[in-house]
A and B are shown apart, each in its own frame.
Chain A
Amino acid sequence: DAKTTQPTSMDCAEGRAANLPCNHSTISGNEYVYWYRQIHSQGPQYIIHGLKNNETNEMASLIITEDRKSSTLILPHATLRDTAVYYCIVRVAGDSSYKLIFGSGTRLLVRP
């Protein structure tokens, strides 16, 4: 699976958009970009995933560059409860094993 690079930490003000970048310059054509987050020591929580088109769900939006070498997770109106470690992970679609390789992620602090 391709490696990802994320900033160690970020912060944003409550109510503002949080934009979390991720570089995955070695991504292969059949690899999806997944985002998970971990609030304190809870289990990782799935947020969103995409292949090449931008995606949006009730939690977030995912913007993937045309060359697929980077992506941005957008939390449109961050709340204090969004304070967490955010993980960007790439994995092969159709892979029969859901082996997720977690990096260190980005620690997002949402300020009041």
Chain B
Amino acid sequence: EPEVTQTPSHQVTQMGQEVILRCVPISNHLYFYWYRQILGQKVEFLVSFYNNEISEKSEIFDDQFSVERPDGSNFTLKIRSTKLEDSAMYFCASSEYRGRLNTEAFFGQGTRLTVV
């Protein structure tokens, strides 16, 4: 069964450093997303991406964050200068778009980011 793949599974970084979280969405999907979950809290939407541009973003997704689809298979989330409060599980997701109906999203297993 096709799946969304995320790497690395765990990333530890120093505060102020840049990190890039990587995702390989399901191959025929056109919509890509990032969500995050701070330990013990709800899953929160960060950003959606379609046709090489951001289609929607949340208040969390400030100038420190950026997304990119550098090639035909990868989708990345970059945090420019990490803060302690960026420590969380980051989930990538992707979905098809059949006709006018956006189908269900499939999530990766997540990258645990720890900022020290």
Contacts and interface: CB of A to CB of B under 8 A. Distances in A.
Do A and B come from the same complex?
yes
Interface of A: 34, 38, 41-46, 49, 87, 93-104
Interface stretch (B11-19, B44-52, B63-71, B77-85): B44-52
Interface residues of B, number: 30
Interface of B: 4, 31, 33, 35, 37, 42-45, 48, 50, 55-56, 58, 89, 91, 93, 95, 97, 100-102, 104-110, 112
A49 B105 CA distance: 11
A97 B35 CA distance: 13
A41 B89 contact: yes
A44 to B, nearest CB: 5
Nearest to B89: A41
Majority-rule SS of A interface residues: loop
A34 B102 contact: no
Given A44-B93, A97-B50, 16 more contacts: A41-B89, A41-B112, A43-B93, A43-B107, A43-B110, A44-B35, A44-B107, A46-B104, A94-B100, A96-B31, A98-B93, A99-B33, A100-B43, A100-B45, A102-B43, A103-B42
B57 to A, nearest CB: 9
A96 B55 CA distance: 8
Contacts of A98: 31, 33, 48, 93, 95, 102, 105
Closest 6 CB pairs of A and B: A43-B107, A102-B43, A97-B56, A94-B100, A46-B104, A97-B48
A103 to B, nearest CB: 7
Contacts of B4: 43
Given A96-B97, A98-B95, A46 B105 contact: yes
A99 B45 contact: yes
